[in-house]
Structure 1
C-alpha cells in the first residue's frame, strides 16, 4: 500500500467534464457508415437523448439490445439504466471497437451498464464486463485513493453496485490496507498510532479531537465516507484482526465529525432549512444509533473510550429523536462506566429553566444513577472496582453541591436527590455537607423543621476535622447538628490525646520491658499494640523504639488535635511529669530516713539487708506503682536528663550511707 500519511489528494479529471466523448462517437458512426456503406438503422433513447446508431455493432456485443432489436428498431432504455446518457455514449464507443480508457471515476458506471446490457463473453470475447472487472481488480483495488473514489461512486449506483459486489470488494480492500497501515513498521517507526490517551481525564473538546483525527490522512478519508460504508469498514477491520484500541478511536472521530462538531451543527441546520428539520434530525439520529451499535459495550469500553465522549453523546441525544431502545442503551453504557467519570462531565440543567425538576438534564442523570445502582447489585457489575460505589456517591454529592444553588430547587426534591445514594455507599460526608450548606444559603427562609429534615442525612462522624469545625461555626445549620458536631469534635480530640499517650507508653515499655518486670507493661503490650497510632503510621517494627523527639516530629497526635508541639507538651505531659518526679523523690527521702533509723537501732545488721533495701528502692524509683516509666516517656529529652541526674544523686547518697554504716 502506498503511504497515505504523506500523500496528497488525487487530482483526476472525469471524462464527463469534457464533450470529447460525444464528438468521438459521431466520428465513429460516420467512419462506420463510410466503411460499410450503410446508414444508421436503429435509435436508442436514454434520458431524453436519442442516439442514431448501426444495428450490427450493438447487437454483436449487447445481449439486451440484440433481444430488443428483434421487436423494434426504436429502443428506449428505462430510467434505472446505470450512468445515464453519458455512460451509454462510452458503451456505444466500445461497441464501435474504440479503445476505451477506464478510470476510477467511470469504471463503476461502465461495469454496471455492462451488466445491465448483458455485455458478457457469451456475445463477444474480451467484452466490456470482463475488461471493467479486470481493471477494478488489478488497478483500483491496489490503490487507497482509487478504491475510495470507486466506493464513493458506488453510492450513486445502488443497489446494482451492491449486487455486483463492488461495494464489498472496496470495503474489504480498504480494511486490509488500513490494517497494513497500522502494522507497517517503517511508517510507524518514528510516530505512534493515533490514540485518545491525550483526552483521558479531560472534557470532550470537538476541535481538539478533530485536530487529532487529521494527523493521519487515512483516518480522515475513512470518516468522510457515508455511514453505511463506514460501518461495514469497521466490521471488516475487526474481522481482519485489528485491535480494539485502534478501531474505537476511528469510531469516535466519525461521531465527533458527524454528530458532535459545531460545524456539523451548522451543516445540519442548513439541511433542515432545505429539506425540513425532521429530515435533518432523522439523519443525525440514525448516525448516532449506528455509532452506539459499533462502540464496545460494558467494561470493554473503559480502556479505549473516554467517559466524556459518552456524556457528549448523551447531551446531543437530548435534542434528537432517538428511539427508546437506543436511548436506553446509551443510558446503560454511561451507567456502567460512571465510576470513571468526572463531575464536570455530568449534565447540568440549563440556566433559565423555570422548574429544575422538569429539566431533561436532571431527569437523565437521575435515570443513570438509578441504572448504576440497580446494576451494582447484579453480576453484570461484578468486574467493577470495590470502590466504585463510594466513587459514584462522591460524584453525586459533588453534583448536588453545584445544583443546590438553584432557587427553584425545593426541599422535597433536594431530599429525593440525596436519598438516591444509599447511606452505606457514602464513605465521607464532606461533599454532602457542601451541598447542604449551599442549599441552606440559597434558601435562608426555611423553617427549623425543614432545615432539620434536610440535614438529617448528614452523619457528623463521617466528616473530616476541618469540615466538622466548619459545621460547628455554621449559623445556618440546625442546632441539633451543631451539637452533634461539637460532640464528635470533642471525641476526636479526646481520642487523639488518648492514642498519643498510649503510643508513648508503649514505646517506653518496649525500651525497658527486658530489664524491669511490670504487669502494667505486659498489659500494654498485649492489649494496645494493635491500637498504637504510631505503629500504624509507620508500619515498621524497628521504629517502635524510636526516641520521643522523632515521634513528636511526626506530629501524628498533634495534627489530629490541632495544637502546636509546645502547647501539646506543656498542657498534656508537663504537669504529670512534675507530679511523678515529686512523688518519686518524696518516696526516696522516706526510704532513706527509714533505713537510717533502722541502722541506728540495729548497728549489727548484716550488710546484705541494706543492699536488698537499696535494690528495692532502686526498683521503686524506676517504676513507682507502675507509673514512673510513663512519666519518663512523656517528657522531653532535657527533662529526662534532669530527672535521671536527680535519681542518680539519690542513689549515690544511699550508697554512701550504706558504706558509712558498714564502716
Structure 2
C-alpha cells in the first residue's frame, strides 16, 4: 500500500504537538480580554474542568451556546460529550479565530464536537463542521494510513461517528484502496498475492498463516481491525467486485489471528480493557460472524481455502460450545471436502487418551456426523490428472485410518466400535488394509473381550480385499479369530499359487513362444510385459541380486537382520508357500511319468508301417499344427529324460530351501541352483 510520507504507525496515536492546546487557549482568552476590555463571564464545565470563556466568540460560532447562554452563564456539558475536554479546547481555539490544528488523530473528535455544539454554516461561514468535513474528504480518505487512524478512533466515538457517516465513508475508502492494491499492475511481488497454497496438504499452522499475513502491510493492518469494521469491509469488497479468491483468504487470516491463535486468546484475557468480560463469549461471537462471512457451499473456495482450516474452525467451535445454523453449515462444508482432507486434520479430544473417554467425546460425535453427511451425498468423482478417482473409496480409507486412533481408547466397547465401522458402507471400501489395522489395534487394547465379541468385531473384514503383506500379517496375528486366520491363510495360498502360475505361463511363453500357439491370460501378459520390458543387463543384475524373480522376495527378507520379528514372519510365510510349490511339483512329476508310459506304448505301435504315415497316394502327410487358442505344454515338448531330470532338481532345491534357517548365504546358494536349473 502506498504510504503518505508520515513515519508514525497508523494504529498508534500521537499526542498534540507543543505548545499544548490548553496553554494556547489560556493565552488567547487573556489576549481577547485585553483587546475588548471584557472579562470572561461564561463558565463551562467539561469532564471536571472549568473553562472561563467570553460570550461573544461562543455565540458567533455555536448554535448550542446561543440557546444555552440565553438562560444561564453556568453551563455543564453532559458526560456523553464527544471528545472530552481536549477536543473542547481545540473547538474553543477555533471560536477565538485561532489556527485550527487538524490531523488524523483529532479530526473525528472535532467533527463530533462541531455537531454537538451546532457549529454549522447557519451561524458562521467556514465553520468547524465544514472545515472538519473538508479535511476528512480531501486528506484523510485519500490515504490508507489516515483512514485507518480515523476508523480506529470511531470505536470510542460511537454512535456519533455512525450518525455522521464517518464510519461508512472510511470503510468504503479502505475497500476501494484494497481493490486498487490488488489490481495495481505495477505491483512487484515475489509470490502470489493472498495465496494460501503453502497451507494445502498440511495440518493448520497458526504461525505459518501469521507469516503469510505479514507479507503485505495492508493485509496485516486490515485484520487488526475490530470485527464490526472488518465485517463491513469484507462486504464492501464483495460489493465493489473483488474476486472471491482474494476475499476468502482475508477472512481466513482474520480467523487465524482472532479465533485460532491461542496467543491472541491469552492476550485478550490479560488486557485491562477486557477485565470483567468473558473472552470465550467474545471469541465465540467473532467465530459466529466469520462463519457467516465465509462462502460455505461454494465449490470454488475448496481450492482457495485449505480443508485443514475448516477442521481447525470446527475444532474451535466444539471447544467453545458453538451451536446453531452456522455450525451445521460448517459441518456440511467439511463433509463435502472430505476427499481433500488428511487424517491428521480430524478432530480428537484435546487431552487425547487422558480424557474421560474418546468414544463419548464431542469430537468423535462431530466426526461421525460429518462422515454420515458425506455418505448421504451423491457419489462423487473427480479427475486427478487424466484418471478418474472415486471419492467414496478415499473417504472410506480416511475413516478406517481414523478408527485406528479411536480404537486405542480402552473404554471403547465392542458394540460402539462396530457402529463406528458401520458409519461408512462396506461397499465403499476397495481395500480392507486399514480396517484390519484398526481391528488389530482394538484387539490389542482389549485383550480380555470374549470370543463372541471378537468375532463380531472382525465379521466385516474381507480377506480377499487385503493386500498380500497385510494378509500374511493377519495369518500370523494370534489376536484374530481362528475363522479369520483360516480364511486369510486360504487367500494367501491362492495368492501364492496364482503368482507361481502367472510367472510359469510368462516364462513358458518367453522360452517356447515360437513352438506353442498359446494365448496368455491378461494377468500373465501384464507380468510378461513387465518381464520383457527390462533390458538384458537390468534383468541379469536383478537375478544376481535377488536370486531370480520367483525367489526375490525370499532373499530380500533375509536382509532385514535388524528386524528379527519381520524376518521370522517372512520366513514362516515363505516356508508355507514353498511347501505348496513342492506338492505341486511332485504331482507334476507323477503326471509326466504317466504321460511317458503312454508315449512309449504309442512309439512301439508306430514301428509297423501304417497308412498314418502316408497318404492315399503314398505322399507324406503334413504334420498337424496346434489350432489357435490351444495351449501346448512346454514341458511336454521335452523328452522324458530331461523332464525327469529338471523336476527332480527343482524338488530337491525346494526341499533344501524349506530346511534352511535364516542364513542369507544358503538361500543364495539354493537360488543359484534353481536359476541354473531354469537356464539348463
For 1:156, what is the secondary structure of its paired residue?
Answer: helix
Which of 360, 369, 386 is the matching residue for 1:358? 360
1:242/1:628 CA distance change after superposition, 3 Å: closer
TM-score, reference length from structure 2: 0.78
Please give the alpha-carbon distance, in whole angstroms, between the structure 1 residues aligned to 2:464 and 2:4: 62
Q: What's the counterpart of residue 220 of structure 1?
A: 220
1:286 to 2:285 alignment: yes
Please give the alpha-carbon distance, in whole angstroms, between the structure 2 residues aligned to 1:148 and 1:273: 21
Given that 2:403 and 2:438 are in contact with CA atoms closer than 8 Å, whether structure 1 keeps it comes out as yes
Which of 404, 408, 416 is the matching residue for 2:407? 404
Please give the alpha-carbon distance, in whole angstroms, between the structure 1 residues aligned to 2:6 and 2:65: 48
Distance apart, 1:429 and its partner CA: 0.7
1:533 to 2:515 alignment: no
TM-score, reference length from structure 1: 0.80
1:437 to 2:440 alignment: yes
Q: What's the counterpart of residue 393 of structure 1?
A: 396
For 1:44, what is the secondary structure of its paired residue?
Answer: strand
Please give the alpha-carbon distance, in whole angstroms, between the structure 2 residues aligned to 1:104 and 1:463: 71
Q: What's the counterpart of residue 33 of structure 1?
A: 33
Given that 2:269 and 2:275 are in contact with CA atoms closer than 8 Å, whether structure 1 keeps it comes out as no
Please give the alpha-carbon distance, in whole angstroms, between the structure 2 residues aligned to 1:161 and 1:273: 21
1:631 to 2:631 alignment: no
1:65 to 2:80 alignment: no
For 1:436, what is the secondary structure of its paired residue?
Answer: helix
1:454 to 2:450 alignment: no
Given that 1:171 and 1:232 are in contact with CA atoms closer than 8 Å, whether structure 2 keeps it comes out as yes
Please give the alpha-carbon distance, in whole angstroms, between the structure 1 residues aligned to 2:113 and 2:528: 83
1:631/1:83 CA distance change after superposition, 3 Å: same
Q: What's the counterpart of residue 268 of structure 1?
A: 268
Distance apart, 1:332 and its partner CA: 2.3
Q: What's the counterpart of residue 609 of structure 1?
A: 618
Q: What's the counterpart of residue 649 of structure 1?
A: none
Residue range with higher mean Cα deviation, 381-390 or 90-99:
381-390
Residue range with higher mean Cα deviation, 40-49 or 503-512:
503-512
1:233/1:471 CA distance change after superposition, 3 Å: same
Given that 1:505 and 1:633 are in contact with CA atoms closer than 8 Å, whether structure 2 keeps it comes out as no
1:167 to 2:153 alignment: no
1:560/1:134 CA distance change after superposition, 3 Å: farther
Please give the alpha-carbon distance, in whole angstroms, between the structure 1 residues aligned to 2:382 and 2:111: 53
C-alpha distance after superposition, 1:498-556 (max 9, x if no partner): 5556667888998679xx8xxxx6xx5xxx7xx5224457999xx99x99x99xx999x
C-alpha distance after superposition, 1:18-42 (max 9, x if no partner): 6721111112112222222222232
For 2:157, what is the secondary structure of its paired residue?
Answer: coil
1:465 to 2:455 alignment: no
Distance apart, 1:400 and its partner CA: 1.0
Which of 494, 504, 517 is the matching residue for 1:491? 494
Q: What's the counterpart of residue 651 of structure 1?
A: none
Please give the alpha-carbon distance, in whole angstroms, between the structure 1 residues aligned to 2:7 and 2:633: 82
Please give the alpha-carbon distance, in whole angstroms, between the structure 2 residues aligned to 1:163 and 1:427: 63
Q: How many pairs align?
A: 607
C-alpha distance after superposition, 1:261-311 (max 9, x if no partner): 2311321332599634x6211111011111111222123331111121122
Which of 410, 415, 420 is the matching residue for 2:418? 415
Q: What's the counterpart of residue 245 of structure 1?
A: 245
Given that 2:194 and 2:250 are in contact with CA atoms closer than 8 Å, whether structure 1 keeps it comes out as no
Please give the alpha-carbon distance, in whole angstroms, between the structure 1 residues aligned to 2:189 and 2:179: 16
Q: What's the counterpart of residue 648 of structure 1?
A: none
Match runs of 1:315-354 below 5 Å: 315-349=315-349, 350-354=352-356
Distance apart, 1:457 and its partner CA: 1.2
Please give the alpha-carbon distance, in whole angstroms, between the structure 1 residues aligned to 2:390 and 2:441: 27
Distance apart, 1:228 and its partner CA: 0.8
Q: What's the counterpart of residue 43 of structure 1?
A: 43
For 1:133, what is the secondary structure of its paired residue?
Answer: helix
1:202/1:462 CA distance change after superposition, 3 Å: same
Given that 2:268 and 2:274 are in contact with CA atoms closer than 8 Å, whether structure 1 keeps it comes out as no
Please give the alpha-carbon distance, in whole angstroms, between the structure 1 residues aligned to 2:7 and 2:353: 48
1:593 to 2:607 alignment: yes
1:61/1:633 CA distance change after superposition, 3 Å: farther
For 2:320, what is the secondary structure of its paired residue?
Answer: coil
Please give the alpha-carbon distance, in whole angstroms, between the structure 2 residues aligned to 1:500 and 1:18: 95
Distance apart, 1:118 and its partner CA: 1.8
Please give the alpha-carbon distance, in whole angstroms, between the structure 2 residues aligned to 1:632 and 1:3: 88
1:577/1:632 CA distance change after superposition, 3 Å: farther
Distance apart, 1:122 and its partner CA: 1.7
C-alpha distance after superposition, 1:580-631 (max 9, x if no partner): 9969986995687344x889xx9xx99962422xx23xx3xx5499967442
List runs of 5+ in structure 1 lacking aligned partners: 644-663
Please give the alpha-carbon distance, in whole angstroms, between the structure 2 residues aligned to 1:467 and 1:562: 15
Match runs of 1:1-400 below 5 Å: 2=2, 9=9, 14-16=14-16, 20-270=20-270, 275-276=275-276, 279-298=278-297, 299-349=299-349, 350-376=352-378, 387-400=390-403
Residue range with higher mean Cα deviation, 104-113 or 258-267:
258-267
Please give the alpha-carbon distance, in whole angstroms, between the structure 2 residues aligned to 1:5 and 1:202: 40
Please give the alpha-carbon distance, in whole angstroms, between the structure 1 residues aligned to 2:190 and 2:58: 57
List runs of 5+ in structure 2 lacking aligned partners: 557-577, 647-680
C-alpha distance after superposition, 1:293-341 (max 9, x if no partner): 1222123331111121122222222332424333323322222222211
Please give the alpha-carbon distance, in whole angstroms, between the structure 2 residues aligned to 1:402 and 1:131: 67
Given that 1:428 and 1:462 are in contact with CA atoms closer than 8 Å, whether structure 2 keeps it comes out as yes
For 2:212, what is the secondary structure of its paired residue?
Answer: helix
Distance apart, 1:481 and its partner CA: 0.9
Given that 2:454 and 2:481 are in contact with CA atoms closer than 8 Å, whether structure 1 keeps it comes out as yes
Given that 1:504 and 1:630 are in contact with CA atoms closer than 8 Å, whether structure 2 keeps it comes out as no
1:598/1:92 CA distance change after superposition, 3 Å: closer
Distance apart, 1:398 and its partner CA: 0.7
Given that 1:502 and 1:532 are in contact with CA atoms closer than 8 Å, whether structure 2 keeps it comes out as no
Please give the alpha-carbon distance, in whole angstroms, between the structure 2 residues aligned to 1:132 and 1:509: 100
Given that 1:104 and 1:146 are in contact with CA atoms closer than 8 Å, whether structure 2 keeps it comes out as yes
1:501/1:611 CA distance change after superposition, 3 Å: same
Residue range with higher mean Cα deviation, 265-274 or 37-46:
265-274
Please give the alpha-carbon distance, in whole angstroms, between the structure 2 residues aligned to 1:103 and 1:71: 35
